């Protein structure tokens, strides 16, 4: 057992820190001034992307030939760093959800033609993408509940259904949607689903509105769209894998997606602790700095204690994914999915409180970061579903 | 000891419930569709106000001759009802903050001329008002920290300073600001402050921007303004009370303001429980209604247990204000200020979680209600300051 | 609605306070020195009982002709006072569980002969009693699970079974056990059970051991016995009510028993706050009293806020029991059963922490009070069962 | 970074597991039946110790030549295993507090004569020892508060003072006390203290009583003594190190002591999860196993999630102690001292609750384990002191 980073990690970490300090953090103010209802990223993003590429900080998330070739364990502390500026840094590095998951999916399951048409421009940052799974009318945390239909009709598939919270879909650069639906409702429960590529400009794809998270529309991400698929037709070769592979593909996609979220959440927590400390050192009440208040010290200590524990579990999970695979790391992936959002939400709440009225406002990133953490207690399945799954595996150890 | 409502309360309660059911709740959808950046209330508010007046449901908050003449204890369950629709019902009844506190203040401390010019149109619902106390650069929970200056110059006072989170100030109907500042920084600590009436259209009153709360701009309330007072001149007779009375006046204003918030918070919690129950009864996951899940049942039971306790303490506080005065109810006012926001925030969090992604969105009122509760952990002084004050009084019992 | 005590209550409250201050609290030290494994109350109890009777502070718990004739609402603040010294005060006043419940039961359901033989000496304090319901092998929170058999055989009933946690059964003064068992396992689910009077010295009643709660044996209460009933024979007239009445009788017994526990728990919490305040005012660390520490102030404030809310709900529950009956107060009884133990446990934990090592030791009553509160999260059904029941009634409001 | 155990660890882990399964766990029942007020270990301990030595499982805690030569990181998972049976396993392996700390201290700071006279029989398990630091009248978490005096008088030192919670001091095998006191109250704050060896049978050493923890007297450990030192005289060569070294020596002692406690706490938590799972799988309520209840599943999942995080932080702390020394691991030692007791207390509370009345009784180890965890929130300084220290170091990062 050894808790030191390897050299590759330390090298990337130093270079990424420098890029964040010199380019990303200074650009945050411009980002924050983004007008409501504008779904395209601010122009500065393109500049940041160019700089990141020039510095060799591009597609770090992707193992193997298509990406930077880092292991999950090597990528973890880098993803954490990007979480310090989550509206900007991941996109600047072409490491933003949902594109990351979509690129992984295409790299693993796409045909050469699919990879050429969609993976290449995604890797190149020329287009963006969305992943259309969640539906308003069913508990989508269980993918078997999906009701959108994908029906073969000659050389085409016809898609009908309603999706919501489709992140990034309103970004003008979003060219492609990966849609999850059912090709065979009569098949075995985990073989009913398929995934299919739908160019966003296909007739019948109708974007209804942007869903908000608390008061935010997340316009710089391309928002969270509600979309109606009304008789949408795409060529049969747009199917990813075979009919019935949809559930298995989505399971493969989830592991890395979840750990990336957790890594970034830790960066968000570190940002919160930094802002909280700076605030309480500089703000006075009742004649002395807030930092002298025992209650505030409790928040800071407890934040540090929780972050240190959480980060190690995320690292261990990454190490397991590298050594025994996503399936072997299932328990740990579920554990961090449970632990990270609520832990980081707690820390952000304290940082907000330490800032007083300013903490809930647009003058710090804290309120919006809090919403991101809070929303992750629901995204990819609510905490309650994951706790149930984890408990069942624990109980199974004692039943044999 | 007796826990039954009196007849007046029951009569008003029935009539107000009916008004909410038949007029207010149906109007919520129009309200929720209010565009970002529009600071004026939707047109339907005027209709609701006319209806409320016609039904004798007007100015219920105000004891004595100017208002409906209800005691705090009688008003408490009515204010609770309005909390079920907090963006709309209080305003429809002319019982919305900050106008309520401003009307109380003018009724108690205003000169006949001030009452005629400002209290009358406020009571009549013809104008709105704001209360400008909080400043960005100091811990305004301690009013002695205020830095805005109010300097006598001949027959006028000249005001300079910066305020923020001035709720309602951007509503076009907002005609008058009550500004807190210092007339004599060299006086004894609680005699430095004064309050003064500043018509919003006075030269030098500059509205800088709207402060947001977790992404919301609260446009239907007239937002939360940041305001610069730059050499603003008003006649000397605009001073409320005498120079140095500002702190005492603001203390008098706080008691009723805080209890009104707490009453409404309980209504918000009841709304949350209703929505949570309806949702879990109708939504299925893993083959049965969410209502069958033990964890969900825990949320509901715990919500009910907490609400029942909290409401009784709010009622007792109102009873104490009626029987021994605001000063005699100081401990209890502080206790509910501590208990209500965090309790209701907890309940709203569970209601959000029970709704899944829809819970964080604009499709239920829950996310916005959550923000209201969260923000009240900071407004009128953060929880930590109130806990400290309450602890000191408790400790003093054992030191004699 | 009115939150003032009536004159009867205030009179009893003053007299009981005086008795506690002058007689009970000074006797606590003698009580605490009680040797392990001795199941009889210390001799001073008899003196205290004589004094209490002389002062008219006897059988206060019992409404109606047999007792002091107080309502539940009048008794509530008196029971709270006895909770400040729970090992001693209730017994000194002949108001200790399980005798109180047994006396209520005999007063309501006993035949004249049963009342003469057992109720009279209990009311007179000449004997003690126990209630034998809980069994080790089943979830006894659901009385329908009870497995002990009570079988008619001629003029007798024969009892076989195993019970545990039978409080008071090892007290040498314990003369009578009320035993819950099944007379007809084939009857409708709530008509299988009966209750029967079993003199403790009946052949076949075998006390196996004393159950401990954490490290305490509660010897001054007569401990918590594990008892085997091995072919125990009692006359048929010892049955309470008719065969099959057992479940209904036990339901009638539970309401008052639960509220008495909750009232006393509040007194325990007040004792904890007093001890905590006195400790932190007198103890220094890092150069100033612990009372100056913000974290300690938080504990004190939060304790006060929680106690005030909890007490009002207990009072309201008592008022409902007086005005609409135990059945009409079902929801509130369940609510306080859920709220009181965990709230008071939390407060006691903080009081322990404020006392350092002494807090966990025999030098303060805090550790033992904590165990009493903790155990009440399980006694009469675990919290989880009550939350489930409460949630179902709440949900039922929205299903009609 | 690498999360796999090395071979030495895996070898010891397998052998220790086998010893626990075959010898220690079967002996627990005999241990639990230990009579109150008996301060000597049950006879079976000597047999277990002989077996452990024969298996090469002896003094594992001690790095370097005197012990097994394991690193902290190698010892950590072994100490965890002993925490599954904390009343028995550590003592069986000669790895029990406070002897471990005392042996480390003598190994590092003792003179050859001191090591020969006291360290050798301790390493050999022939005698036991105690560490007398805590005093009833001062906040001993800050060692500078100690008031016991150690005064040079010719060739002797004379010791006067009162100590309490001196674990193990009443064990008949306890031959030696290490006493912390002040040799020079006028010296610089951290140079006033010294430590000195006091044979327990020295005249003037008077054991007053055993302190209890939540009713337990911990007799099998030799209890927790209150001791008066009344003019106790020992030869001057009994001083450990030089006059004034006491504070520094005690700091050196604390790091390993704290991490050992935390390692064992994790083992206690694992034991709790195992017992909880076995219980809920086998116990029915409302017609199905408790394991099917969502609330119970939440407890289990949350327990697993917390243990996994906590263990990794303990391992990392051990690794830091090995690689950068105890001083360099200061923050992490403090972090686990904060996190471990409260985390494990929470888990034990849930395991108790899942067991119903049996959980608070002597029929499972859970109640006593809970008390061990609870008491560790106070031992070696209350959580609040450690949070304050940790917060200050965190704040210092942002002040430069």
C99's CB contacts (< 8 A; 6+ apart) are C122, C128, C129, C168
Question: Using the beta-carbon criterion (under 8 Å), do A394 and D291 form an inter-chain contact?
Answer: no
Rounded to whole angstroms, the Cα distance separating D165 from C109 reads 52
The residue written with tokens 């001799």 in the block is C43
Chain B residues 147-166 with CB within 8 Å of chain A = 164-165
Distance of CA C54 to the CA centre of its chain: 24
Chains in contact with C, where contact requires at least 3 CB pairs less than 8 Å apart: A, B, D
CB atoms within 10 A of CB D51: 15
Q: CB-based contact (8 Å) between C220 and chain D?
A: no
Helix (H) or strand (E) holding D148: none
Average pLDDT over residues C134-159: 92
Taking the alpha carbons at both ends of chain A, their separation in whole angstroms is 30
Percent of chain A past pLDDT 90, that is, above it, reads 88
Question: Using the beta-carbon criterion (under 8 Å), do C214 and D164 form an inter-chain contact?
Answer: no
Chain D interface test: which of A292, A398, A399 (most D C-beta within 10 Å): A398
Percent of chain C past pLDDT 70, that is, above it, reads 100
Average pLDDT over residues D295-302: 98
CATH 1.10.540.10: which residues of chain D?
Answer: 7-97
Please report the sign of the dihedral spanned by the C-alpha atoms of residue B234, residue B236, residue B241, residue B242: positive
pLDDT of residue B267: 98
**CA distance to partner chain C, nearest, from residue B109 (Å):** 30
B302 contact residues in C (CB cutoff 8 A): 338, 387
* C197: Cα within 13 Å, side-chain hemisphere: 26
A16's CB contacts (< 8 A; 6+ apart) are A57, A78, A81, A82, A93
C293 contact residues in A (CB cutoff 8 A): 294
Q: CB-based contact (8 Å) between D280 and chain B?
A: no
* B355, closest residue in chain A (CA to CA): A378
Q: CB-based contact (8 Å) between D283 and chain C?
A: yes
Answer whether A260's CB lies under 8 Å from A61's CB.
yes
Answer whether A347's CB lies under 8 Å from A303's CB.
yes
Chain D residues 58-87 with CB within 8 Å of chain C = none
Q: What is the CATH number of domain D247-397?
A: 1.20.140.10
pLDDT of residue C306: 98
**CA distance to partner chain D, nearest, from residue B300 (Å):** 13
* Encoded tokens for C333: 């009884």
Q: CB-based contact (8 Å) between B287 and chain D?
A: no
Question: Using the beta-carbon criterion (under 8 Å), do B214 and A374 form an inter-chain contact?
Answer: no
Q: Which fold has domain A7-123?
A: Butyryl-Coa Dehydrogenase, subunit A; domain 1 (1.10.540)
CATH 2.40.110.10: which residues of chain B?
Answer: 128-242
Question: Using the beta-carbon criterion (under 8 Å), do B217 and A215 form an inter-chain contact?
Answer: yes
Q: CB-based contact (8 Å) between D295 and chain C?
A: yes
Q: CB-based contact (8 Å) between C306 and chain D?
A: no
Rounded to whole angstroms, the Cα distance separating A356 from A345 reads 17
Residue by residue, DSSP assigns A162-191 as EEEEEETTTSTTEEEEEEEEES-TTS-TTS
Cis? peptide before D98, omega within 30° of 0: yes
Question: Which bin fits D282, alpha (ψ -120 to 50), beta or left (φ > 0)?
Answer: alpha
Helix (H) or strand (E) holding D59: none
Q: Which fold has domain C248-396?
A: Butyryl-CoA Dehydrogenase, subunit A; domain 3 (1.20.140)
Helix (H) or strand (E) holding D101: helix D99-109
pLDDT band per the 50, 70, 90 thresholds, residue A395: very high
**CA distance to partner chain A, nearest, from residue B361 (Å):** 5
pLDDT of residue D329: 95
Residue D162 backbone phi and psi in degrees, to 5: -130, 130
pLDDT of residue B287: 86
pLDDT band per the 50, 70, 90 thresholds, residue D259: very high
Q: Which fold has domain A247-396?
A: Butyryl-CoA Dehydrogenase, subunit A; domain 3 (1.20.140)
Question: Using the beta-carbon criterion (under 8 Å), do B384 and A353 form an inter-chain contact?
Answer: yes
pLDDT of residue D323: 97
A354 contact residues in D (CB cutoff 8 A): none
> Does the domain made of D128-242 have the CATH classification 2.40.110.10?
yes
Q: CB-based contact (8 Å) between B313 and chain C?
A: yes
pLDDT of residue A171: 97
Q: What is the ipTM of this complex?
A: 0.96
* Encoded tokens for C268: 């325990």
Rounded to whole angstroms, the Cα distance separating D159 from D175 reads 17
Tens digit of each residue's pLDDT (9 = 90 or more) over B99-122: 999 999 999 999 999 999 999 999
Angle (deg, nearest 10), helices B25-32 and B44-54:
160
Residue by residue, DSSP assigns A124-162 as TTS-EEEEE---TTS-TTSGGG---EEEEETTEEEEEEE
Tens digit of each residue's pLDDT (9 = 90 or more) over C275-333: 999 999 999 988 899 999 999 999 999 999 999 999 999 999 999 999 999 999 999 99
Tens digit of each residue's pLDDT (9 = 90 or more) over C52-66: 999 999 999 998 888
Tens digit of each residue's pLDDT (9 = 90 or more) over D164-222: 999 999 999 999 999 999 999 999 999 999 999 999 999 999 999 999 999 999 999 99
Chains in contact with D, where contact requires at least 3 CB pairs less than 8 Å apart: A, B, C
Chains in contact with B, where contact requires at least 3 CB pairs less than 8 Å apart: A, C, D
Q: CB-based contact (8 Å) between A294 and chain C?
A: yes
* C274, closest residue in chain B (CA to CA): B398
**CA distance to partner chain A, nearest, from residue C92 (Å):** 43
* Encoded tokens for B373: 């509760």
CATH of C128-243, one of 1.10.1740.10, 2.60.260.40, 3.90.550.10, 2.40.110.10: 2.40.110.10
Q: How is residue B23 annotated by DSSP?
A: I
Count A/B contacts: CB-CB distance under 8 Å: 124
**CA distance to partner chain D, nearest, from residue A7 (Å):** 11
CATH 2.40.110.10: which residues of chain C?
Answer: 128-243
Residue by residue, DSSP assigns D242-279 as STT-HHHHHHHHHHHHHHHHHHHHHHHHHHHHHHHHHH
Q: Pick D301's closest partner by Cβ from A274, A332, A391.
A: A391
Ranges of chain B with pLDDT below 70: 400
CATH 1.20.140.10: which residues of chain D?
Answer: 247-397
CATH 1.10.540.10: which residues of chain B?
Answer: 7-123
Q: CB-based contact (8 Å) between B144 and chain A?
A: no
Chain C interface test: which of A289, A290, A291, A295 (most C C-beta within 10 Å): A295
Answer whether A241's CB lies under 8 Å from A296's CB.
no
Q: CB-based contact (8 Å) between D296 and chain B?
A: yes
Most distant CA pair in chain C: distance in Å? 78
Q: CB-based contact (8 Å) between D292 and chain C?
A: no
Q: CB-based contact (8 Å) between D11 and chain B?
A: no
* Encoded tokens for B275: 């929505």
Rounded to whole angstroms, the Cα distance separating D173 from A240 reads 74
**Residue A282: helix, strand or coil by DSSP?**
helix
Tens digit of each residue's pLDDT (9 = 90 or more) over A11-68: 999 999 999 999 999 999 888 788 888 898 999 999 999 999 999 999 999 988 888 9
pLDDT band per the 50, 70, 90 thresholds, residue D391: very high
B218's CB contacts (< 8 A; 6+ apart) are B167, B224
CB atoms within 10 A of CB C363: 17
pLDDT of residue C322: 95
Q: CB-based contact (8 Å) between C115 and chain B?
A: no
Q: Please, what CATH class does the domain formed by D7-97 belong to?
A: mainly alpha
Rounded to whole angstroms, the Cα distance separating B201 from B177 reads 10
CB atoms within 10 A of CB A64: 11
Tens digit of each residue's pLDDT (9 = 90 or more) over A125-149: 999 999 999 999 988 777 888 999 9
Q: CB-based contact (8 Å) between A316 and chain D?
A: yes
Residue by residue, DSSP assigns A235-251 as EGGGEESSTT-HHHHHH
* A293, closest residue in chain D (CA to CA): D388
Please determine, for residue C144, whether its predicted confidence score (pLDDT) is greater than 90. no
* B295, closest residue in chain A (CA to CA): A384
Q: CB-based contact (8 Å) between B354 and chain D?
A: no
Rounded to whole angstroms, the Cα distance separating C34 from C44 reads 11
B295 contact residues in D (CB cutoff 8 A): 294-295, 298
**CA distance to partner chain C, nearest, from residue A389 (Å):** 21
pLDDT band per the 50, 70, 90 thresholds, residue A380: confident
The residue written with tokens 């009777």 in the block is C53
Average pLDDT over residues A145-162: 97
Rounded to whole angstroms, the Cα distance separating D318 from D334 reads 12
pLDDT of residue D254: 79
Q: Where are the alpha helices (DSSP H) in C201-329?
A: 246-282, 294-323, 325-328
Q: CB-based contact (8 Å) between C308 and chain A?
A: no
**CA distance to partner chain D, nearest, from residue A4 (Å):** 5
- Choice between A196 and D43, residue whose per-residue pLDDT is larger: A196
CB atoms within 10 A of CB C236: 13
B181's CB contacts (< 8 A; 6+ apart) are B146, B148, B149, B150, B159, B161, B193, B194, B196, B246
* C337, closest residue in chain B (CA to CA): B305
**Residue B258: helix, strand or coil by DSSP?**
helix
Rounded to whole angstroms, the Cα distance separating A238 from A183 reads 13
């Amino acid at each position: 057992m050894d808790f030191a980073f390897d050299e590759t990690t330390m090298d990337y970490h130093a270079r990424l820190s420098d890029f964040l300090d010199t380019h990303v953090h200074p650009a945050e103010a411009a980002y924050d001034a983004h007008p409501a209802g504008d779904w395209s990223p601010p122009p500065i993003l393109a500049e940041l992307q160019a700089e990141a590429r020039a510095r060799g900080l591009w597609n770090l998330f992707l193992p193997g030939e298509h990406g930077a070739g880092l292991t999950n364990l090597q990528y973890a502390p880098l993803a954490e760093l990007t979480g310090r500026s989550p509206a900007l840094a991941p996109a600047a590095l072409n490491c933003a959800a949902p594109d990351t998951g979509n690129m992984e999916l295409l790299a693993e399951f796409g045909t050469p033609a699919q990879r050429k048409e969609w993976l290449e421009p995604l890797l190149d940052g020329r287009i963006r993408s969305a992943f259309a799974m969640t539906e308003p009318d069913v508990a989508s945390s269980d993918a078997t509940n999906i009701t959108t239909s994908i029906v073969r009709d000659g050389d085409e598939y016809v898609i009908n259904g309603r999706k919501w919270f489709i992140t990034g879909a309103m970004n003008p650069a979003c060219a492609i949607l990966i849609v999850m639906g059912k090709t065979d409702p009569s098949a075995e429960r985990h073989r009913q689903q398929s995934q299919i590529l739908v160019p966003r400009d296909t007739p019948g794809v109708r974007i209804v509105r942007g869903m908000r998270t608390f008061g935010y529309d997340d316009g710089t991400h391309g928002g969270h769209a509600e979309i109606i698929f009304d008789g949408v037709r795409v060529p049969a070769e747009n199917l990813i894998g075979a009919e019935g592979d949809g559930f298995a593909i989505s399971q493969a996609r989830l592991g890395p997606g979840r750990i990336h979220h957790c890594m970034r959440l830790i960066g968000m927590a570190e940002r919160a602790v930094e802002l909280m400390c700076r605030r309480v050192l500089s703000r006075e009440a009742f004649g002395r700095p807030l930092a002298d208040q025992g209650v505030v010290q409790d928040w800071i200590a407890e934040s540090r204690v929780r972050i240190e524990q959480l980060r190690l579990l995320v690292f261990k999970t990454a190490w397991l994914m590298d050594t025994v695979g996503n399936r072997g790391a299932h328990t740990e992936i579920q554990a961090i999915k449970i632990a990270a959002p609520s832990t980081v939400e707690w820390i952000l709440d304290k940082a907000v409180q330490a800032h007083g009225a300013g903490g809930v406002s647009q003058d710090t990133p804290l309120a919006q970061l809090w919403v991101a953490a809070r929303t992750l207690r629901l995204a990819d399945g609510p905490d309650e579903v994951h706790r149930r799954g984890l408990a069942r595996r624990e109980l199974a150890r004692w039943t044999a």
